[in-house]
């Protein structure tokens, strides 16, 4: 079981919540990113910022089979 901003926090009406995922892409005009080991799960609107994060943290791009 998981809890997220897209489910229980925004649904207190007593009905079963729909299964949605909310991912932030920007905060106060600045890029944000979710970096994942799983192919296709990394999220960022700014490829340059994503490349910067990968360099800073020594991360490689997730490999696809």
Rg (CA), the chain: 15
Domain residue limits at 30: 24-65
C-alpha–C-alpha distance, residues 65 and 57, integer Å: 24
Question: How many structural domains comprise the chain?
Answer: 1
Residue with tokens 């892409």: 25
Q: What percent of the chain lies above the pLDDT cut of 70?
A: 77
Summarised one tens digit per residue, pLDDT across range 14-27 is 777 777 777 888 99
pLDDT higher than 60, residue 53: yes
For residues 39 and 7, the model is more confident at 39
Across the range 32-59, mean pLDDT stands at: 91
Is 6 inside any structural domain?
no
C-alpha–C-alpha distance, residues 40 and 57, integer Å: 19
Top mean-pLDDT range of 7-11, 15-19, 44-48, 61-65: 44-48
Token couple for 24: 């932030």
**How far is C-alpha 24 from the geometric centre of its chain's CA atoms?**
6
Is 41 inside any structural domain?
yes
């Amino acid at each position: 079981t998981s809890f997220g901003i897209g489910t229980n926090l925004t649904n207190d009406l007593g009905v079963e919540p729909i299964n949605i995922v909310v991912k932030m892409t920007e905060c106060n005009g600045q890029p944000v990113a979710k970096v994942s080991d799983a192919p296709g799960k990394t999220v960022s609107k700014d490829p340059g910022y994503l490349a910067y994060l990968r360099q800073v943290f020594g991360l490689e791009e997730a490999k696809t089979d």
